[in-house]
Amino acid sequence: MIRRITRLAPCLALAGCAGVQSALDPASDQASSVFGIWSLMLWICGVMYALVLAFLAAAIWKARHRLSGPPIAEGQKSPADRPLTRVLTGWVGLTVVGLLVLTFGSFLVDRQLALADQKNAQTIKITANQWWWKVEYDDPVPGRRFVTANELHLPVDRPARIELEAGDVIHSFWVPNLGGKQDLIPGRTNRLLVTPRRVGLFRGQCAEFCGLQHAWMALDVTVEPQTAFAAWAEAQRRAPAPPSTPEALRGRDVFIGAACNSCHQVTGQPAQGQTGPDLTHMASRPSLAAGARPYSRQALDEWLRDPQALKPGNHMPLVATRADERAALVAYLDTLK
């Protein structure tokens, strides 16, 4: 039994390395560079650690067996002096070489990150708010710009220049599989270049404590082939199909008549509020309330019943609606694809 556990433990530990939110499973050029220097550091420090422990063990073992030597007279050198000097010189040399390799490696990685190819880069502006992400896709043609929230789609093999801003307090943008952390600071624009090389679904997370719901400030990242990305972007630019069922139509009236459109935006509807997440294609997003729940009609109903119960302290207020109004609202919001 114990043997089985000891055999399983390293496998379990390794399982933590892969996955949708792991810096040890790089999916972009930048993350690969950082992973390279991370591995180098792990090996150098690991070998040094093992050497120090081995040396310590050898020293203790030797001392135990040589305590019975002849006493040393005053002014006379200890027979241990010469080997000790030799060994210490060796250690200093080893440390210097290790640090030099690390410094040089870090310099090379820094250079690699700074000089990365930005040709044909897609510019995306991300604004962090308590506690959600506003994602704006820039385009030279103003009509082709579009906004989404809490999801980021990136075409594979095309660099993305991400401009990072904050709407209230300091946040930090971190998609471990795609690159290092970068802070979002109110009043300034930080930039991060990401060149995804592998298709997949990843999870980003705010990495700077930003208030009560810091933990539920996630970002669903999809890296997809160029054609799939183009199709997605085209769908995002279009207004969603108008509601057709009587219930959804009623839900739209509730949405426009109640406080929803004071903060939220839906393209093609008289809803142009700017302080909350854009809801134009909310039903096509993987999650609700910045990763608080996977998207489903049931989760949406639960969220609208009392947003403070699901994510206490967030800035979505309870808008008083009757149960039938809420059902209609859910039916309408579910058509926003």
Binding to other proteins by residue 214, rule CB under 8 A? no
Looking at 87-95, 141-149, 236-244, 252-260, which segment touches other proteins (CB under 8 A)? Answer: 252-260
Residue 335's alpha-carbon distances to 247, 268, 316, 329, in angstroms, are 11, 13, 21, 10
3-state secondary structure of 217: coil
Q: Are strands 190-194 and 200-206 parallel, antiparallel or unpaired?
A: unpaired
Binding to other proteins by residue 312, rule CB under 8 A? yes
Closest CA to 316 of 324, 326, 327, 308: 308
Measured between alpha carbons, how far is 221 from 152 in angstroms, rounded to an integer? 5
Residues 165-194 touching other proteins, rule: CB under 8 A, are 168
Which one, 228 or 319, has the nearer CB to other proteins?
Answer: 319
Binding to other proteins by residue 309, rule CB under 8 A? yes
Which one, 203 or 252, has the nearer CB to other proteins?
Answer: 252
Closest CA to 255 of 223, 280, 220, 290: 280
Among positions 153, 156, 307, 327, the unique one binding other proteins when judged by CB under 8 A = 307
Binding to other proteins by residue 293, rule CB under 8 A? no
Binding to other proteins by residue 299, rule CB under 8 A? no
Which one, 30 or 130, has the nearer CB to other proteins?
Answer: 130
Which one, 121 or 147, has the nearer CB to other proteins?
Answer: 147
Binding to other proteins by residue 259, rule CB under 8 A? yes
Burial 267-281 (b: 16+ CB within 10 A, else e): bebebebeebbbbbb
Binding to other proteins by residue 79, rule CB under 8 A? no
Among positions 59, 85, 317, 337, the unique one binding other proteins when judged by CB under 8 A = 317
Which one, 40 or 258, has the nearer CB to other proteins?
Answer: 258
The DSSP result for 89-147, as a single string, is HHHHHHHHHHHHHHHHHHHHHHHHHHT---TTPEEEEEEEETTEEEEEE--SSGGG-EE
Residues that bind other proteins (CB under 8 A): 168, 257-259, 262-263, 275, 306-309, 312-313, 315, 317-320
